[in-house]
Amino acid sequence: MSNPGDYDAVRKDIASLLKQPEYDDGSAGPVLVRLAWHSSGTYDAETDTGGSNGAGMRYEAEGGDPANAGLQHARVFLEPVKSKHTWVTYSDLWTLGGVEAIKQMGGPEIEWKAGRTDFVDDSKLPPRGRLPDGAQGADHIRFIFYRMGFSDQEIVALSGAHNLGRCHSDRSGFHGAWVNNPTRFSNTYFRLMMSLNWKEKTLDNGVRQFVHYDEDADEELMMLPTDLALLSDPSFKPWVELYAKDRDRFFEDFAKVFAKLIELGIERDEKGGITNIDNEKGGYHS
């Protein structure tokens, strides 16, 4: 147990659970990043519903969304941290988990603010189907991310998270990693997207993705149709080109947009306190 509000102690414990020799590429880092993103990426600006507040993925309605398959691994990795620092909310822990994992994997420092609640406001619950589908193209990507309030530049910067981790046939149906070293944050995803010759492949399960095979590499690399849509779209493409050649600019833009992502749906006063949580309105606590 730590003192309530000692987020540095929480960060330390997140950092020390990242090494997981028995899990993917020996690291819990990438799946923690995805948990932070999926917990936030349900936001709809127009109706002000969804977002990280409430940690709704604990419940079947959101946790059982096929788009969230596999994220129980991330939640299980974080459970000992929650048990030790009982005062931290799941919604804060899941967003901080992503931020700390990115930093520990060599990525930028991302601004993170505390104060999310685990109070579930029924009127804010997102319907299923708000997260992106990798089989689609640029129109779908814009439909999903404009809904959250992101620009084309921000969409491309956020997509750079695919430098981390991998696809699992038993979760999304896609298979493989985007880069050879998927536990090290960098701009390699953009560089490979531009430099390699991507070939369409239909997997045994009927899922279509793009692959590149290099004899010297351990495994085939992959790109989703949505990843390559960034390169074929005239408004996304210049950002792919910029981030492929300017790593520092990518880190800077990624840090800004990831910080924006995890704040979706949260309004704060000058002291950083959250002002739009109505604990009185019908709902339930953890």
Active-site residues, by number, are: 38, 178
19: which residues sit within 8 A by CB, 6+ positions away?
A: 26, 27, 28
Residues between 206 and 225 with contacts to ligand DDH, criterion CB under 6 A: 224
Whole-angstrom distance, CA of residue 28 vs CA of residue 14: 10
283 lies in the site for ligand DDH, by CB under 6 A: no
Structural tokens at position 174: 């896609």
Position among 57, 156, 158, 240 found at the interface with ligand DDH (CB under 6 A): 158
Q: At what angle do helices 152-159 and 247-261 cross, to 10 degrees?
A: 100
Position among 81, 167, 207, 262 found at the interface with ligand DDH (CB under 6 A): 167
Residue at 227: amino acid letter: D
156 lies in the site for ligand DDH, by CB under 6 A: no
| Residue of 18, 19, 2 whose CA lies nearest to 10 | 2
Instruction: Read off φ and ψ for residue 200, nearest 5 degrees.
Output: -70, 140
- Between residues 18 and 161, which has the closer beta carbon with respect to ligand DDH? 161
| Sign of the Cα pseudo-torsion (74, 78, 79, 80, in order) | positive
172 lies in the site for ligand DDH, by CB under 6 A: yes
CA 177, chain centre distance (Å): 15
Stretch that binds ligand DDH, among 11-19, 115-123, 170-178, 274-282 (CB under 6 A): 170-178
Whole-angstrom distance, CA of residue 123 vs CA of residue 113: 24
236 lies in the site for ligand DDH, by CB under 6 A: no
Which string of x and - marks every residue 56-95 that binds ligand DDH (by CB under 6 A)?
--------------x-------------------------
Shortest distance in whole angstroms from residue 91 CB to ligand DDH: 16
187 lies in the site for ligand DDH, by CB under 6 A: no
174 lies in the site for ligand DDH, by CB under 6 A: yes
Shortest distance in whole angstroms from residue 253 CB to ligand DDH: 12
Whole-angstrom distance, CA of residue 284 vs CA of residue 139: 37
Number of residues forming the site for ligand DDH (CB under 6 A): 26
Position among 10, 14, 28, 31 found at the interface with ligand DDH (CB under 6 A): 31
> Judging by DSSP bridges, how do beta strands 199-202 and 176-177 pair with one another?
unpaired
Whole-angstrom distance, CA of residue 257 vs CA of residue 252: 9
Q: At what angle do helices 152-159 and 237-245 cross, to 10 degrees?
A: 50
132 lies in the site for ligand DDH, by CB under 6 A: yes
- Between residues 55 and 224, which has the closer beta carbon with respect to ligand DDH? 224
Return residues touching ligand DDH (CB under 6 A). Answer: 24, 30-31, 33-34, 37, 70, 132-134, 141, 158-159, 161-162, 164-168, 171-172, 174, 224, 226, 258
